[in-house]
Structure 1
């Protein structure tokens, strides 16, 4: 049948239950499926199969958060009318090609969004995977999870840490159990994440309870240089906010937690990501054991990891004050040093650690290649190449002076490259590579 917007709808019959989906532009979109419930500061509880039909809400559910002025400036304004705040935001969406045959088993890519563990959600226009799904005939699942104080700050039984990681694990269990009903191969699942989403995926590799839930990972721009020696900072942040309980008004938490943020003067660059995963608390090992745990995972999980060449230009060049007072030479040096400290050297070390343990590992670096593009290969510049979606990206500040035709042509090649990795765990030398990338396999 068709609704008033002339969008075709269909009911998918799955072992989870009947799910209302939308057919649009060659892609079937089953959006906002609740995979778990949670109460504040408690672990998620999986949703059980039901005879009731799942109908997606009109507005996108998101974890309560403050809008980021930086993202508003660089990527575009957020329309609050499109979202609904929900302290239990455990929803996922499944995007699959039309006309999947009954016995078809397509590779599955699970998108874990970034946002410093503090902002964002799985379903936003700039991460709509329609182009990728149509071109490469893959299934993409987008996942939302708890953020900030609700998902990544804790220290006690009443407020445990890593709740957002537990949400992701429940989502992966749901995908493992039900994705075959959508035409997906439950034995060929690739996790794909950018920024803190990539950092989360790296830590899912060494989390309890994730065995056999995925076979490959694609990690973009993970701030792995900020992951170590965070416990003192997080413990202080927690102490200053421990008066927030299950009974505290939501508005009080959202309006005030930033007043207790860790200081740069005391904690340096780590304070730039005030929330995050915490070692020594379930489901993660002690920090001292993390490297060995990654080595143990090396032969089980194929890894594709990399960064953009000028990651921190996203933050430094967006600052009008810095642009006004810092000479260009000093600005460029600051970008180079901070990019390598937070992203570059840690990604290389991560790849080398896994390769030494016998892992199948690829390391890449993305470039912008446009001299009049003011932000260069900044943080998040990879996303329009991976997802396409011209209407969402074309007029964003981060792409200033970069022709969409260039993004589209390189994006098609990059999507093909990444889909090939999701299918086989390999980046073929025969596959045409985009101009924007350098990539190598670690032996």
Structure 2
């Protein structure tokens, strides 16, 4: 592949003069600040700028501790490329180089996953350039507060759901300014994976989102862990009270891990100690959530689903478990554990969500990604959808997740899946005649 030289491109917007990068058929306006915040305060929208808006040298990221599992399964994080910032309200806009001012391209907004405590909007493994070029769409990637800063709260000093409020501010920015990038403000689709999908599902029933998006694609959302979390969150909040005024943000990210609620006490939900919290703005009470989703069923088109072997990402990669369950009868037990936990956390909740939504009159599709590669030792595990949606062979070349799977196989299936997801983003429908990748099962509910 011939790499074109990088050039700059200027977007003259009502938000300001934004300097972007033009490379390989893509224009990328990187790390635009859409809001700012003080610690444990709601975000304040960023005002339009009279001076040029220039992309920073390093990518802003919410303070966090790097996950050894993610490093192993997805790839190393080059920390020298990132800059920790607890006011992490930034977004990047990816658009095709060749478009006309009156095209009004469909817009997909990427809400990253990471258990509400790690990650950011701009990672090489979720660079949407391939998708933008192939399908002639605009993709906006969003960063927001995580962990102690965005998804743990419960009192006046430390409010809950600040990460959700950040995303809402990002959506308001996109609604206002995306026409200046060639995007259609009336055709915005939210796409989220894992905790990003959880956030999107809850944005559907949040206050203050009216008219901000039209469709949602929810991948691998751990909706089975959403129930009865308040007691755990209250305990976690109390145990981390001593960190609330800590000036060293990286120390905060390191220290809270010593006080994470025990899985033995709270069950599987403690594996994701941060999260959206019912009963605090912008969310309703937990017992009202299902009816809220039903009452909003005609507002949003929904594409929701999972991978067949989600929890293999955690269980089949554990050295301790493989020592005792890695072969023979032990492997049969481990496979059963993967099936049971995948269905409990992801599968049954997604199906229940889809059926309730359809009964209430909503337009909803349910999908599952499965493994067809004889070489893939863990199957269609958590995050296997990411290289399919985003491509980027270079970013995924060291991923243990794709060990022994030829990239040509990922690309062939991914290109077809990207076309389907773009079709849904354009129209809210997936035609029966549209080509399916062999690893995908999808049906309208």
TM-score for both structures, normalised by structure 1: 0.98
Map of 1:82 onto structure 2? 81
1:199 maps to which residue? 198
Residue matched to 2:52: 53
The equivalent residue for 1:15 is 14
Equivalent residues of 1:386, 1:411 under 8 A apart: yes
Instruction: Give 3-state SS (helix, strand or coil) of 1:439's partner.
Output: strand
Q: 2:325 aligned with 1:322, yes or no?
A: no
Residue 180 of structure 2 is matched in structure 1 by 181
**1:281 and 2:284 matched:** no
User: Structure 1 residue 45: deviation in Å?
Assistant: 0.3
Task: Look up the match of 2:163.
Answer: 164
Structure 2: 5+ residue stretches without partners: none
Query: Is 1:332 the equivalent of 2:331?
Result: no
Where 1:243 maps in the other structure, the secondary structure is helix
Please tell me whether residue 410 in structure 1 is matched to residue 410 in structure 2.
no
- Quote the Cα distance in structure 2 between the aligned partners of 1:392 and 1:384: 9
Partner of 2:370: 367
Q: Work out whether residues 119 and 147 of structure 1, in 8 Å CA contact, stay in contact via their aligned partners in 2.
A: yes
Q: Name the structure 2 match of 1:127.
A: 126
More divergent stretch after superposition (340-349 vs 251-260): 251-260
C-alpha displacement of 1:255: 2.3
Q: 1-side partners of 2:282 and 2:111: how far apart?
A: 18
1:293 corresponds to:
292
Residues 185-207 of structure 1, C-alpha deviations (whole Å, 9 max, x = no match): 00000000000000000000000
Partner of 1:356 in structure 2?
359
* Distance (Å, rounded) in 2 between the aligned partners of 1:232 and 1:116: 18
1:69 aligns with 2:68: yes
- Residue 248 of structure 1 deviates from its aligned partner by 4.4
Tell me if structure 1 keeps the 8 A contact 2:246–2:252.
no
In structure 2, how many angstroms separate the alpha carbons of the residues matched to 1:6 and 1:364? 39
Aligned to 1:213: 212
Post-superposition offset of 1:7: 1.0
Residue in structure 2 matched with residue 255 of structure 1 by the alignment? 254
Post-superposition Cα deviations, 1:115-169, rounded to whole Å, max 9, x if no partner, equal 0000000000000000000000000000000000000001111100100000000
TM (normalized to structure 2)? 0.97
- What is the distance in 2 between the residues matched to 1:164 and 1:175? 17
- Cα drift, residue 313 of structure 1: 0.3
Aligned alpha-carbon RMSD (Å): 0.9
The alignment status of 1:270 with 2:255, answered yes or no, reads: no
| Matching residue of 1:427 | 430
CA drift of 1:246 comes to: 3.8
- How many residues were matched structurally? 438
**Counterpart of 1:100?**
99
Q: Distance in 2 between matches of 1:40 and 1:133?
A: 35
**Residue of structure 1 in register with 2:28 after alignment:** 29
The alignment partner of 1:114 has SS state of: coil
4+ long deviations beyond 6 Å:
none
Q: Give 1:244 shift.
A: 2.4
Do the aligned partners of 2:63 and 2:250 also contact (CA within 8 Å) in 1? no
After superposing the two structures, state which structure 1 stretch, 246-255 or 190-199, moved more: 246-255
> Please, which runs of 5 or more residues in structure 1 have no aligned partner?
none
Q: Distance in 2 between matches of 1:245 and 1:315?
A: 31
Whether the 8 Å CA contact 1:111–1:140 is kept in 2: the answer is: yes
Distance 1:254 1:141 in 2: 27
Matches of 2:245 and 2:403 in 1, distance apart?
44
